[in-house]
């Protein structure tokens, strides 16, 4: 499998705090990669660096072999690399269906190409994806009126609507009703296999990430502590000490 995303020796500090130090990781085409680590270990900062929220201090980030380290979020998104947030971000005053419609790839176009109604096919695809995450009945409701867990599902559906090649998910199961987590894992897998979206997932729920990911990278104190298959990472002594603890 070829590398879709390559993070090469990225360092990022905020004032005196080094959030990422010399971090390297690779996400291969078609896989589900996991990113774990204690709170404050720099996972979300790394997401921000990859998606262009802030510039990196040093190092490089390649997406499909092209450097994206100095691009802003919008061109990175148009290239097919998208993220979701730990605290969800949706368009609160708009209906779920409208949230989906404006998340379609066509909305990337220039201003004048936006001056036409949403095509029926796009509406249908939005409805289908809302059904996929179990929100079809809510499609006419204001997104801001949904519960936190439902907003996370909506945000996930919006991301899929954008047809990304690579989707970075920041704690997709946090705040989701535990009885629904298995369903969500199943949907993440189906997005990967059926829709062909490569995933990089930050997750604190070990049961989820060990089940879901093909390979896992563990960060601690802003540095890569270990990387490998779920079993390798789970049994790594440094990971046990820094993060998982000894059972």
Partner 1 sequence: MNRLFALRLNDWQIAAVLAFLGLAGPFLLPGLATQIAFLWLMVVFALTWDMLGGRMGYNSFGNIVFFGIGCYAAAVVQRDAGVGYFEGLGLGLLVGACLAVLAAVVFGAAMLGIRGHYFAIGTLGLGIAAGEIAAGWDYVGAGSGMALPLYPGELGQREIFFCYSLFALAAICFLLFRWIYSTRFGLALNAIRDDHDKADAMGLRTTPIKIFAWALSALFLGISGGLAANMIGFIDPRDVAFAGATFGVWMVLMAILGGKGTLWGPVLGAFVFHVTQELFWTYLLGWQRVALGLLIVVIVVFFPQGIMGWLAERRARALS
Q: How far is the CB of 156 from partner 1 (least distance, A)?
A: 13
What is the full DSSP assignment across 92-158? TTSBHHHHHHHTSGGGGS-GGGGSSPPPHHHHHHHHHHHHHTT-GGGTTSBGGGS-HHHHHHHHHHH
If you search the block for the tokens 């996991």, which residue do you land on?
A: 34
Question: What mask of x and - would describe binding to partner 1 in positions 116 to 155, judged by CB under 8 A?
Answer: xxx-------------------------x-----------
End-to-end CA distance of the chain: 35
**Residue 106 interacts with partner 1 (CB under 8 A): yes or no:** yes
| Residue number with CB closer to partner 1 (89 or 190) | 89
User: Footprint of partner 1 on residues 160-199 (CB under 8 A)?
Assistant: 162
| From candidates 54, 72, 190, 207, binder to partner 1 by CB under 8 A | 72
Residue range at the interface with partner 1 (CB under 8 A); choices 18-26, 111-119, 211-219, 221-229: 111-119
Helix (H, G, I), strand (E, B) or coil at 87: coil
Between the CA of residue 69 and those of 47, 114, 166, what are the distances in Å?
12, 28, 16
Cα 196 to chain centroid, rounded:
14
Q: How far is the CB of 21 from partner 1 (least distance, A)?
A: 25
| From candidates 8, 28, 78, 204, binder to partner 1 by CB under 8 A | 78
User: What's the token pair of residue 13?
Assistant: 């500090």
If you search the block for the tokens 């296999």, which residue do you land on?
A: 193
**Residue 54 interacts with partner 1 (CB under 8 A): yes or no:** no
User: What's the token pair of residue 77?
Assistant: 């998104």
**Residue 240 interacts with partner 1 (CB under 8 A): yes or no:** no
Q: Interface with partner 1 by CB under 8 A: which residues? A: 51, 53, 72-75, 77-78, 82-83, 89-94, 98, 101-103, 105-111, 114-118, 144, 158, 162
């Amino acid at each position: 499998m070829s590398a879709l995303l390559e993070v090469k020796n990225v360092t990022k500090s905020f004032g005196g705090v080094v959030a990422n130090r010399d971090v390297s990781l690779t996400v291969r085409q078609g896989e589900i990669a996991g990113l774990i680590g204690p709170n404050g270990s720099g996972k979300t900062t790394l997401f921000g660096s990859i998606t262009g929220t802030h510039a990196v201090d040093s190092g490089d980030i390649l997406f499909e072999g092209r450097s994206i380290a100095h691009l802003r979020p919008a061109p990175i998104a148009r290239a097919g690399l998208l993220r979701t947030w730990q605290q969800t971000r949706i368009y609160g005053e708009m209906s779920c269906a409208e949230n989906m419609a404006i998340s379609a790839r066509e909305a990337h176009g220039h201003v004048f190409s936006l001056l036409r109604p949403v095509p029926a096919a796009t509406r249908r695809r939005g409805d289908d994806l809302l059904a996929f995450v179990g929100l079809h009945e809510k499609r006419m409701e204001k997104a801001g009126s949904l519960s936190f867990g439902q907003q996370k599902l909506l945000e996930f559906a919006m991301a899929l609507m954008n047809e990304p090649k690579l989707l970075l998910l920041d704690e997709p199961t946090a705040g989701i009703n535990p009885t629904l987590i298995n369903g969500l894992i199943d949907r993440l897998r189906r997005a990967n296999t059926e829709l062909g979206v490569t995933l990089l997932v930050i997750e604190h729920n070990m049961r989820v990430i060990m089940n879901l990911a093909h390979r896992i990278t563990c960060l601690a104190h802003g540095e890569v502590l270990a990387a490998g298959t779920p079993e390798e990472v789970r049994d790594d002594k440094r990971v046990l000490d820094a993060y998982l603890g000894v059972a």
